[in-house]
């Protein structure tokens, strides 16, 4: 018998919502980061949530519910918001004089969650199918009294300085054809690159002609090569944009070098062929 987390994937493949390769890729993401498989698939842009939810409901022979604005206060009282948010479930209604709880779930094969909700609410749980984001929005609307998509914070999120460095900038993921994560960071295949995080010593800027400050391309080349730009040429905002260009170029260069080393290491490309391709024609 398939593991519970694979059952949803098998249903989606059988319904032709996704193919085997897409399932492997989504499972690789699941193994790396965790989370519900249905949410991972929608976040990857493989399928829309409505399509996914309908296929899961049909595949499991369960009812598909639409979580609107109506709410059952008795059902809400049976389940605390913390557990609802943690498990991604929403209490829809009570039946049988409060003895049965209809529970909306994105993954009704999660028997552990069903048992946990049943024990916490002291009811018999009947799972029904709803979309992951649909459940999340219902929790916000009915538990938190917030309309989905509306921010209630009075503080703006801090913006990252374009000149600041972070370990996240060196992280990326390469997934092979089987869906296996081959590498997730530059340091995984090129440990020596970690030493290159520090910016190399700046080289002296070439002397400009006395008649002018040079072309915009010349100035950009100087900055990208590590040469400081004269303060009298650019405003602080322009300097910030140019530094962002430099940071993005450095990151792209690291990723490209890492991928080339990986291809060479796996024997997928020969060094002489690569050198021949890179020679100017």
d(CA 171, CA 253): 13
What pLDDT is stored for residue 69 in this prediction?
75
What pLDDT is stored for residue 91 in this prediction?
96
What pLDDT is stored for residue 10 in this prediction?
92
User: What is the pTM (predicted TM-score) of this model?
Assistant: 0.53
d(CA 224, CA 245): 8
> Which tokens hold the place of 119?
């024990």
Nearest to 132 by CA among 105, 92, 93: 105
Fold classification of 73-142 (topology level) = GMP Synthetase; Chain A, domain 3 (3.30.300)
Alpha-carbon 169 to chain mean position: 14
Q: Which pairing describes strands 124-129 and 100-105: parallel, antiparallel, or unpaired? A: parallel
What pLDDT is stored for residue 169 in this prediction?
45
Containing 92, the helix (H) or strand (E) segment is strand 89-95
d(CA 147, CA 265): 51
Place of tokens 């100035």: 219
Q: Collapse the DSSP code of 182 into the 3-class scheme (helix H, G, I; strand E, B; otherwise coil) and give the result.
A: strand
Residues of the chain with pLDDT under 70: 1-5, 150-234, 266-281
8 Å CB contact between 89 and 135: yes
214: Cβ contacts below 8 Å, ≥ 6 apart: 208
Q: What is the pLDDT of residues 163-219, one digit of tens each?
A: 444 444 455 555 554 455 555 555 554 454 444 444 454 445 444 444 444 444 555
Any idea where the domains of the chain sit in the sequence?
4-60, 73-142, 182-206+213-278
Nearest to 30 by CA among 20, 43, 14, 49: 43
What pLDDT is stored for residue 56 in this prediction?
95
What pLDDT is stored for residue 262 in this prediction?
72
What pLDDT is stored for residue 281 in this prediction?
53
> Which tokens hold the place of 105?
């779930």
User: What's the mean pLDDT when you consider all of the chain?
Assistant: 75
Strand partners of residue 124: 100
Q: Where are the extended beta strands (E) located within 106-225?
A: 124-129, 171-175, 181-185
What pLDDT is stored for residue 227 in this prediction?
53
What pLDDT is stored for residue 70 in this prediction?
77
Nearest to 8 by CA among 35, 28, 37: 37
């Amino acid at each position: 018998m398939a593991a519970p987390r694979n059952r949803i994937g098998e249903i989606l493949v059988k319904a032709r919502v996704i193919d085997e390769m897409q399932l492997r890729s989504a499972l690789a993401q699941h193994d790396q980061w965790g989370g519900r498989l249905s949410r991972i698939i929608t976040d990857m842009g493989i399928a829309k949530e409505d399509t996914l939810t309908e296929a899961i409901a049909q595949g499991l022979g369960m009812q598909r519910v639409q979580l609107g604005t109506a709410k059952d206060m008795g059902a809400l009282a049976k389940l605390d918001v913390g557990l609802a948010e943690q498990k991604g479930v929403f209490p829809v209604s009570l039946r049988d004089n409060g003895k049965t709880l209809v529970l909306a779930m994105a993954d009704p094969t999660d028997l552990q969650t069903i048992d946990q909700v049943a024990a916490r609410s002291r009811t018999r749980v009947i799972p029904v199918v709803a979309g992951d984001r649909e459940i999340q929005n219902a929790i916000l609307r009915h538990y938190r009294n917030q309309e989905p998509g509306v921010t209630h914070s009075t503080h703006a999120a801090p913006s990252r300085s374009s000149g600041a460095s972070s370990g996240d900038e060196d992280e990326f993921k390469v997934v092979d054809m089987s869906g296996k994560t081959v590498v997730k960071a530059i340091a995984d295949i090129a440990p020596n690159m970690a030493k290159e995080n520090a910016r190399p010593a700046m080289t002296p800027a070439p002397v400009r002609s006395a008649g002018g400050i040079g072309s915009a391309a010349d100035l950009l080349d100087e900055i990208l090569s590590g040469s400081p730009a004269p303060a009298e040429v650019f405003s602080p905002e322009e300097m910030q944009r140019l530094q962002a260009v430099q940071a993005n170029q450095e990151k792209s260069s690291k990723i490209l070098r890492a991928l080339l080393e990986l291809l060479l290491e796996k024997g997928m490309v020969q060094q002489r062929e690569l050198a021949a391709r890179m020679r100017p024609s």
